[in-house]
């Protein structure tokens, strides 16, 4: 099946048509830059631009950085509170002119990695974590998704852990890879205490640079980089849009 996948992040909307049987892009992805917080008008226009770029008229799957229940947007982090309680299905259907399904962005990345990537065939407990503007999370057991597990918001020193250990925190504090890996390690230890995953998949742009910092991680669970890297969100959104 061919589905347009759109992955929404704190700095850009990214999309590409995907063959959901193979997980492969059918065209080069298109990126629309935004600023966070992002207005609803700006976000709708970004989604519209992606659909028009591909002259798309088929199904669309959207990975949105928020709790998603029956297509409605719940608690939102970096994109801005103005999105909360909006009907994502109706909003993006109007914007793209296409049938739409909406899923949490990290859940989308997790679906892609479980079907085509590092989690393929796993029946134990798998935790996917995406390190970017924030920390996204997707939790699976026996191949089944536990939706909307916003584990980047677990508190640390009175603030969400993602403020301390996301990739954006590394840049903000000008940390080298070893210094940042110590923060990530603290976070992973908390995740292991709470969830006891057998496999931890690390996604986001920093997964491409795993050689720089994975060597500093000390976990019980096996830690591996995402195989689909930054494409996982788009592929997973397309899977959700089937």
pLDDT in tens, 45-104: 999 999 999 999 999 999 999 999 999 999 887 799 999 999 999 999 999 999 999 999
In a domain, 7, yes or no: yes
Whether residue 82 lies inside any domain: the answer is yes
CATH number of the domain at 53, please: 3.30.420.40
Q: What Rg value do the Cα atoms of the chain yield, rounded?
A: 17
Number of domains in the chain: 2
Which residues, 6 or more positions from 144, have their beta carbon under 8 angstroms from its beta carbon?
A: none
Residue 92 and residue 163 in one domain: no
63 and 131 both lie in a single domain:
no
Q: How many CB atoms lie within 10 A of CB 50?
A: 25
pTM: 0.92
Q: What is the extent of the structural domain holding 122?
A: 118-226
> What pLDDT is attached to residue 133?
83
236 and 217 housed in the same domain: no
Helix axes 105-116, 232-240, angle to 10 degrees: 90
Same domain, 52 and 129: no
Write the pLDDT tens digit of every residue in 57-68.
Answer: 999 999 999 999
**Encoded tokens for 223:** 């830690």
Residue 112 in domain: no
Tell me the average pLDDT across 17-41: 96
Beta-carbon count within 10 A of 22 CB: 10
Same structural domain for residues 63 and 79? yes
Residues 101 and 156 in one domain: no
Q: Which residues pair with 130 in a beta bridge?
A: 136, 203
145 and 184 together in one domain: yes
């Amino acid at each position: 099946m061919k589905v347009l996948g759109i992955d929404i992040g704190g700095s850009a909307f990214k999309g590409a048509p995907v063959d959901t049987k193979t997980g492969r892009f059918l065209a080069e992805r298109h990126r629309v830059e935004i600023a966070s917080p992002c207005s609803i008008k700006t976000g709708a226009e970004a989604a519209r631009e992606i659909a028009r770029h591909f002259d798309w008229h088929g199904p669309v799957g959207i990975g949105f950085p928020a709790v998603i229940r029956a297509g409605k947007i719940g608690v939102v982090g970096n994109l801005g509170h103005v999105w909360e309680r909006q009907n994502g299905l109706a909003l993006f259907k109007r914007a793209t002119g296409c049938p739409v399904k909406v899923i949490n962005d990290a859940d989308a990345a997790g679906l892609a990695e479980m079907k085509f990537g590092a989690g393929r065939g796993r029946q134990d407990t798998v935790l996917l974590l995406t390190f970017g503007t924030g920390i996204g999370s997707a939790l699976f057991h026996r191949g089944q998704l536990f939706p909307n597990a916003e584990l980047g918001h677990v508190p640390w020193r009175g603030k969400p852990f993602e403020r301390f250990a996301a990739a954006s925190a590394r840049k903000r504090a000008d940390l080298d890879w070893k210094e940042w890996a110590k923060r990530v390690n603290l976070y992973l230890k908390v995740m292991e205490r709470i969830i006891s995953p057998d496999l931890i998949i690390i996604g986001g742009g920093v997964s491409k640079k795993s050689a720089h910092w994975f060597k500093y991680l000390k976990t019980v669970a096996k830690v591996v980089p995402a195989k689909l890297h930054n494409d996982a969100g788009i592929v997973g959104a397309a899977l959700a849009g089937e």
